[in-house]
Structure 1
Amino acid sequence: MFRKEKQMPPDAGLSEMVTLIAPTSGWQIANFSELKQYRDLFFFMVWREIKVLYAQTIMGFSWAILQPLVQIVIFTIVFGKVAKVSTDGYPYMLFSTIAIIPWTYISQAMSQSSMSLVSGQSMLGKIYFPRLIFPVTPVLARLVDFAISLVVVLAVAIYYKVMPTWNLLFFPLFFGMMICIPLSVGLWLSAMAIRFRDVKHAMPFVIRMLIYSAPIVYSASSIPGKYRFLYSLNPIVGVIEGFRACLLGTPIPWTYIFPGMITCTIMLLGGALYFKRMERIFVDVI
Structure 2
Amino acid sequence: MSSSPIDDKKRRNNIDGAHSKIAAHPAIIIRPRKSIDTSDLLEILQFRTVIYFLIWRDFKVRYRQTFLGLLWAILQPLASMVVFSLVFSRLAGISSDGVPYSVFVLAGLLPWGYFSHALASASSSLTNNRDLLKRVYFPRLIIPMAAILSCVTDLLTSLGLLLLVMFALGVPVSLNIVFLPFFLLIAIAAALGAGAALAAAHVRYRDVGYITPFAIQILLFLTPVVYPSSLIPASWRLVYGLNPMAGVVEGVRWCMLNIPPHPEMIVVSAISTLAILLGGLYYFQRSERIFADIV
TM-score (norm 2): 0.88
- Following superposition, the deviation at residue 87 of structure 1 comes to 1.5
Given that residues 29 and 269 in structure 1 are in contact (C-alpha distance below 8 angstroms), is that contact kept between their aligned partners in structure 2? no
Output the amino acid matched with 2:124. Answer: M
Q: Secondary structure at the match of 2:203?
A: helix
Given that residues 177 and 256 in structure 2 are in contact (C-alpha distance below 8 angstroms), is that contact kept between their aligned partners in structure 1? yes
Aligned length: 274
2:191 counterpart residue number: 182
- What are the superposed Cα offsets for residues 131-161 of structure 1, whole Å, 9 maximum, x if unpaired? 0111101111000111112221011111222
1:114 lines up with 2:123 in the alignment: yes
User: Which sections of structure 1, spanning at least 5 residues, go unmatched?
Assistant: 1-9
- Following superposition, the deviation at residue 47 of structure 1 comes to 0.7
Over the residues paired in the alignment, what is the CA RMSD in angstroms? Answer: 2.0
1:23 counterpart residue number: 31
Output the amino acid matched with 1:87. Answer: S
- Following superposition, the deviation at residue 23 of structure 1 comes to 3.1
Structure 1 segments of 4 or more deviating over 4 A? 17-21
Mapped to 2, the partners of 1:44 and 1:227 lie a distance apart of 44
Q: Write 1 or 2 for the structure with the bigger share of helix.
A: 2
Mapped to 1, the partners of 2:185 and 2:171 lie a distance apart of 24
1:35 lines up with 2:44 in the alignment: yes
Output the amino acid matched with 2:68. Answer: M
Mapped to 1, the partners of 2:74 and 2:97 lie a distance apart of 26
Q: Rate the CA distance shift 1:38–1:25 in 2: closer, same or farther, 3 A.
A: closer
Given that residues 97 and 259 in structure 2 are in contact (C-alpha distance below 8 angstroms), is that contact kept between their aligned partners in structure 1? no
Q: Rate the CA distance shift 1:20–1:104 in 2: closer, same or farther, 3 A.
A: farther
Given that residues 108 and 142 in structure 1 are in contact (C-alpha distance below 8 angstroms), is that contact kept between their aligned partners in structure 2? yes
Percent identity of equivalent pairs:
38
Mapped to 1, the partners of 2:70 and 2:59 lie a distance apart of 10
1:81 lines up with 2:98 in the alignment: no
Q: Secondary structure at the match of 2:150?
A: helix
The one of 197, 207, 213 equivalent to 1:204 is: 213
Q: Rate the CA distance shift 1:91–1:165 in 2: closer, same or farther, 3 A.
A: closer
- What are the superposed Cα offsets for residues 110-147 of structure 1, whole Å, 9 maximum, x if unpaired? 01101111111111111211101111011110001111
TM-score (norm 1): 0.91
- Following superposition, the deviation at residue 250 of structure 1 comes to 2.9
Bigger radius of gyration: 2
1:70 counterpart residue number: 79
Given that residues 119 and 194 in structure 2 are in contact (C-alpha distance below 8 angstroms), is that contact kept between their aligned partners in structure 1? yes
Alignment of 1:200-279 (within 5 A): 200-279=209-288
Mapped to 1, the partners of 2:192 and 2:252 lie a distance apart of 19
Output the amino acid matched with 1:23. Answer: R
Mapped to 2, the partners of 1:148 and 1:168 lie a distance apart of 16
The farther-off stretch of 100-109 and 160-169 is 160-169
- Following superposition, the deviation at residue 11 of structure 1 comes to 8.6
